[in-house]
Amino acid sequence: MTAKKQIYPPRPRSKAARRQQAVAVNDALTRNYPDARCELDFTNPLELLVATVLSAQTTDVRVNSITPELFATYPAAEDYADADREELESILRPLGFHRAKAKSLMGLGAALVEKHGGEVPNSLEELIKLPGVGRKTANVVLGNAFGIPGITVDTHVGRLARRLGWSREENPVKVENDIADLLPEEEWTMACHRLIFHGRRICTARKPNCAACPIADLCPSYPVTA
């Protein structure tokens, strides 16, 4: 059986026109989501790194429900490295996959202690060398804990980038590069938060609410039927 061919929305032919549309979309989302932000609770880079790693295969709300106890019990990388496995698993149990997540956090803590003196590095190159940390997690940490612009391509950002005609790629790294080519670097982090807010609230995967969409007039996919 041959794979179904992906159908992409039409988009402006010139890069200049695509950039103009992308900036207009970002401006509109800025007005509509003035409270856009990282929805994981944290107070320092380690807490954000841990919360982001835990957010895989679960929701930010659920992660936030267990992190107060987690962060109080394990305030430093050394604490994760030396954690009692059963105690850590017990805290993580509500998230699902608690054994795998406990193992991941213990390995992450050990790597931070061994290679970085227990501190979270502030470069993409060093972050992605840590166990369980990919580009998405690294960019979340860079943009929100260190103020270093990064493009976080989660399922929402990838979906909206394709619907908006910003990218025709499925590979997150290629989507990241396409977005980087359209928006000013200083907007990267917040633009992703706005897209995520919009993807969770209006432009959902199953049933996008195009009638309530504040950027419908800028969207080449409007109306979205799937």
Q: What is the pLDDT of residues 139-191, one digit of tens each?
A: 999 999 999 999 999 999 999 999 999 999 999 999 999 999 999 999 999 99
Condensed to tens digits (0 to 9), the pLDDT of residues 52-83 reads 999 988 999 999 999 999 999 999 999 999 99
**Domain stops at, among 109, 134, 159:** 134
Provide the pLDDT for residue 158.
97
Could you tell me if residue 1 is inside a domain? no
97: tokens are 């996959």
Give the model's pLDDT for residue 6. 66
- Assess whether 136 carries a catalytic annotation: yes
At 223 the pLDDT is 86
Confidence (pLDDT) at 1: 46
Q: What is the pLDDT of residue 225?
A: 58
* Integer Cα distance of 134 and 111 in angstroms: 15
For position 9, what pLDDT does the model report?
76
- pLDDT over 90 at 224, yes or no: no
DSSP 215: T
Q: Which of 27, 41, 60, 154 is catalytic?
A: 154
Give mean pLDDT, residues 93-103: 95
With respect to residue 64, please indicate whether it lies within any of the assigned structural domains.
yes
Where a domain ends, among 110, 134, 158? 134
Total domains in the fold of the chain: 2
Range of the domain at 98: 45-134
Q: What is the pLDDT of residues 124-140, one digit of tens each?
A: 999 999 999 999 999 99
**Catalytic option among 136, 178, 181, 217:** 136
Question: The domain spanning residue 27 has which CATH number?
Answer: 1.10.1670.10
Q: Which H or E element spans position 115? A: helix 98-116
Query: Rounded CA gap, 209 and 206, in Å?
Result: 10
Predicted confidence (pLDDT) per residue in 188-205, tens digit:
999 999 999 999 999 999
**141 within domain boundaries:** no
Query: 129 catalytic, yes or no?
Result: no
**CATH number of the domain enclosing 77:** 1.10.340.30
Q: Can you say whether residue 117 is alpha, beta or left, with left for phi > 0 and alpha for psi between -120 and 50 degrees? A: left
C-alpha dihedral, 142 to 62 to 224 to 32, nearest 10°: -60
Record the pTM: 0.90
Decide if pLDDT at 7 tops 70. Answer: no
